[in-house]
Structure 1
Amino acid sequence: MSDETPICSAKGCRADAVWVLAWNNPKIHTPERRKTWLACEEHREHLSQFLGVRGMLKDTVPLADWEAPEG
């Protein structure tokens, strides 16, 4: 793992990220494309709702699981 700890994507937040929110904008992305935002515990629900009401949230996964190597 790198020396840099992933941080939350919420504006102004510098907390460690613990969630990955996978999303895409169907108006501009192909269906299989996934963009990601990172979220701390405090901002996970807010960021999920922001993407969800726009129909863009595809998955929410713990960061540890997202980074885990297969096999």
Structure 2
Amino acid sequence: MLVCSSKGCRERAAYGVVWNNPKVHTPERRKVWLACPDHRGSLSDFLSLRGFLIEVLPVESLGERDG
């Protein structure tokens, strides 16, 4: 079972929050935090405010390049 990345959450992940820190990662690097429906917004907002968010996908849509 894929588990949400939010601190202390043990719920099943339904989304992949795809991000990249351009100060640390090359442009093609895609990091992923997993999110349950309850934490999708807070994790996405955290990354978006920092300019790191690329996209949010259902976990079934994550590919080999994500991770």
Normalising by structure 2, we get a TM-score of 0.90
Does residue 17 of structure 2 align to residue 6 of structure 1? no
The unaligned stretches of length 5 or more in structure 1 are none
The amino acid across from 1:26 in the alignment is P
2:32 to 28, 36, 39: 36
The amino acid across from 1:48 in the alignment is S
Greater than 6 Å deviation, 4+ residue runs: none
How high is the sequence identity, in percent, across the aligned residues?
52
| Inter-partner Cα distance in structure 2 for 1:60 and 1:44 | 8
Aligned equivalent of 2:11? 15
The amino acid across from 1:12 in the alignment is G
Paired residues, what number? 63
The unaligned stretches of length 5 or more in structure 2 are none
Q: Which one has a bigger Cα radius of gyration?
A: 1
Aligned equivalent of 2:48? 52
RMSD between aligned residues: 0.9
Of Structure 1 and Structure 2, the greater helix share is in: 1
Normalising by structure 1, we get a TM-score of 0.85
